A and B are shown apart, each in its own frame.
Chain A
Amino acid sequence: MTLFLQQLMNGIGNGVVYASVALALVLIYRTTGILNFAQGEMALFSTYITWKLTDAGLGIIAAIAVSTLIAFVFGAIIERVLIRPVEHASPFVILIVTIGMFLAISSITVTIFGDDEKQLPSAFSERAWSVADVSVTLEFVGLVVVLAAECLLLWLLLQRTKLGLGLRAVASNPESARLVGISSGTMLMFGWAIAAALGAIGGAVYVPTTPALTAGSMQAVLVYALAAATLGGFDSPLGAVVGGLIVGVAEALAIQYVEPLHDITLVVPFILIGAVLLFKPTGLFGRRIVERV
Chain B
Amino acid sequence: MASRRKWTSFAVAMLVLAWLAYVPQFYGQSELVPWSEALYFSIAALGLNLLTGYNGQISIGHGAFFGVGAYTTAILMEHNAWQFLPTLPIVIAVALVVGAAFGFPALRLKGLYLALITLGIAALFPDLVNRFASKYGTAGTSLIQPPRVLAPEWASGFAEADDQYRYYMLLVVGVVMLILAANLVRGRFGRALVAVRDHEAAASTLGVNIARVKVGAFAISAAYAAVAGSLSVLVNGSANAGKIEVFRQSILFLVAVVIGGTATVAGPVIGAYVVVFGQDFAKDIFDDKPELAPAVFGVLLVVLMYVLPDGIVGGWRRLIARRSRSDGLPPLPSASPAH
Contacts and interface: CB of A to CB of B under 8 A. Distances in A.
B298 A96 contact: no
Most buried by A among B299, B300, B302, B338: B302
Contacts of A102: 298
A100 B301 contact: yes
Interface in A276-292: 277-278, 281, 283, 289-292
A47 interface: no
B55 interface: no
B117 A270 contact: yes
Contacts of A219: 244, 247
Given A92-B262, A92-B338, A107 B298 contact: yes
A263 B139 CA distance: 14
A100 B113 contact: no
B293 A107 contact: yes
Interface centre among A29, A103, A108, A278 (most CB of B within 10 A): A103
Contacts of A290: 110-113
B309 A264 contact: no
Given A104-B295, A278-B108, A86 B306 contact: yes
B130 A263 contact: yes
Contact residues on B (Cβ < 8 Å of other chain), bracket = 35 or more
Contacts of B337: 90
Most chain B Cβ neighbours within 10 Å, of A35, A85, A89, A100: A100
A97 B113 contact: no
A110 B124 contact: no
A293 B120 contact: no
B258 A107 contact: no
Interface of B: 52, 58, 105, 108-113, 115-117, 119-121, 123-124, 127-128, 130-131, 244, 247, 251, 254-255, 258-259, 262, 289, 291-295, 297-302, 305-306, 309-310, 337-339
15 contacts: A91-B111, A95-B115, A96-B259, A99-B251, A100-B305, A103-B298, A104-B294, A108-B292, A216-B244, A223-B120, A263-B127, A263-B130, A270-B124, A292-B111, A293-B115
- The 8 A-B residue pairs with the shortest CB-CB distance, nearest first, are A104-B298, A100-B301, A103-B298, A107-B294, A270-B120, A107-B295, A264-B127, A100-B298
